[in-house]
A and B are shown apart, each in its own frame.
Chain A
């Protein structure tokens, strides 16, 4: 599926979800505009636009096909984000940086490990030390 079609599907999906939700919220009640009015109007306008994007992707957009590299990167990022609440900041961040450097840039192991350790320490130092923002560093800090 082309990226324009994926974007179109997202638009159509959102239009349907918000459109149906706005029915439950109500457009009008006792002479007063309801909380569902603008969502309903927006969804009603979005649906045909999304359909147009879906039907004529090549005429509407000049995108390029998805690449395996980027899709793999997104999977890695999702895995990293899912690990954070359970393992704290340090371990998943270091692991993520090693995987990122090795898998996508073919950086040698030693450099990847130095990058992971150094960047994690720098980021933690910046946020905790310089900005004073406490971070859950280890699993037992959750």
Chain B
């Protein structure tokens, strides 16, 4: 524990350097600015803003900026959920249930404040947990072999594809599509080209940045053309910002419980985000003395899920940094961003790049504080942003994505990738299918492929090794349970029941 504190102090010495502080502030502002835009969730925000990190001189600076963009985007997303009843992503759906109701009752200020302060508290608690859990995970991960990595990656995909909104069958299909697309390019093991069809650009695989911007950005903007005039913003003056004493009292318990629930679910690859928010909402409803108020403006319905969301977002960095396994679509993007900066996340990161590991953790403490200090007083600014006409905002985001796609490699091919996946993103949106499993699988494809083949080599060609090693076998058993319960509908009924009952059209 003393060692962790010393290392954390080292991390603070890096995170508090003026240029890194600037990256943090800029990231928070940019992330909130784009995250506030209706329909653009964290993944889209990070994908759209990823090109802005190309010019950052160091991997630590880039990651600090991206992590700050992530937090800012989550805060921006909760603002849209509360004021517009438009969730930017699946995890914000829960906030809409009670947050928008609070706004309609003239309590938008307390809703926004509780979302911000709850996120800050949860994020800080989660970062404290990350400080001590992270190195322990890294030590444990050093003993993992290919069978364990294969099992974990499979569990992550199973959770991500079956817990995302939409039917599990579709989620699984999209995950498999992601695996196939992720295998395009040079085979890591043999060096043979796979599915590149002779294209030099595809030799190194499909670029994830234009793919993300297409799926989440371009597709969403095209879809939004059908929604014109459909948004109704709470236009009453925000008024009182801080909750009353009674509201604080009601929010404290959910914030603490949400932090714990979110932290634990975020540790599981594929389990954070939506699972944390859903569980937190279900827990709060169960322990509340007035469960009938949920869905009608209960402050616990905002405080708990928002805290869980933020805690899960923080603890999702544990599998990312220590195992090299992204826990959700956002950390999948951060994984790609790290690779762009020539940093390989995984068990050796702590040993080889302690500056990146501890610098990022320390920057999260700082980032949470920056968000609270900047965003609460600037609520009026974000609200004004929501009034900017769509005919200005939508093309702005679109142009930024096109320019950003080109800027990656100065290649028009990447703009083509953006457009192709933009069309795919639109189709998925129209089909009410969530693209997150596709992204996670895309990022995990190489790990899955390499670890599977290495495991089979270790087992002399027999797949029994995948289940005979205790940890790998246990994880695969859990994966099987997840798949069976989710596909059969039992799991969905358990988790989605409390939320489905409160859904308003």
Mark A residues whose CB is within 8 Å of B. 2-4, 6-7, 10-11, 14-15, 17-18, 21, 25, 28, 31-39, 42-43, 45-46, 49-50, 52-53, 60-67, 69-70, 73-74, 77-78, 80-81, 84-85, 89, 93, 97, 100-101, 104-105, 107, 115, 119-120, 123, 127, 131-135
Contacts and interface: CB of A to CB of B under 8 A. Distances in A.
10 contacts: A7-B170, A14-B181, A18-B195, A42-B176, A60-B169, A63-B431, A64-B430, A93-B399, A97-B395, A133-B54
A81 B228 CA distance: 24
B190 interface: yes
Q: Which of B51, B412, B461 has the most CB of A within 10 A?
A: B412
B432 to A, nearest CB: 5
B489 interface: no
Contacts of A81: 402, 412, 415-416, 418-419
Given A42-B180, A61-B432, A77-B422, A35 B225 contact: no
Going nearest first, the 7 A-B pairs with the smallest beta carbon separation are: A3-B430, A105-B391, A3-B431, A63-B431, A49-B173, A46-B176, A33-B453
B313 interface: no
A14 B174 CA distance: 11
Contacts of A97: 395, 399
B452 A33 contact: yes
A49 B431 contact: no
Contacts of B410: 134
B183 A39 contact: yes
Interface in B413-457: 415-416, 418-419, 422-424, 426-428, 430-433, 445, 448-449, 452-453, 456-457
A77 B222 contact: yes
Contacts of B231: none
Contact of A70 (B51, B225, B448): B225
A25 B416 contact: no
- Secondary structure at the B interface, as helix, strand, loop or mixed, is helix
Contacts of B144: none
Contacts of B333: none
A35 B196 CA distance: 13
Contacts, number: 181
B476 interface: no
Q: Which of B55, B173, B422, B432 has the most CB of A within 10 A?
A: B173
Q: Which of B51, B176, B187, B410 has the most CB of A within 10 A?
A: B176
Contacts of B395: 97, 100-101, 115, 119
A70 B432 contact: no
B390 interface: yes
A31 B461 contact: yes
Given A78-B419, A107-B391, A123-B400, A42 B428 contact: no
A66 B391 contact: no
Nearest to B166: A61
A135 B412 CA distance: 11
B380 interface: no
A34 B228 CA distance: 51
Interface in B170-210: 170, 172-173, 176-177, 179-181, 183, 187, 189-190, 192, 194-195
B396 interface: yes
Interface in B448-481: 448-449, 452-453, 456-457, 460-461
Interface in B131-185: 166-167, 169-170, 172-173, 176-177, 179-181, 183
Contacts of B406: 84, 135
B292 interface: no
Given A21-B194, A60-B167, A63-B430, A131 B180 contact: no
A104 B225 contact: yes
Contacts of B448: 38
Contact of A63 (B402, B403, B432): B432
A15 B177 CA distance: 8
B223 interface: yes
Contact of A46 (B173, B222, B453): B173
Contacts of B189: 35
A101 B183 contact: no
A113 to B, nearest CB: 13
Contacts of A52: 169
Contact of B426 (A50, A74, A100): A74
B392 interface: yes
A115 B391 contact: yes
Contact of B55 (A45, A60, A100, A131): A131
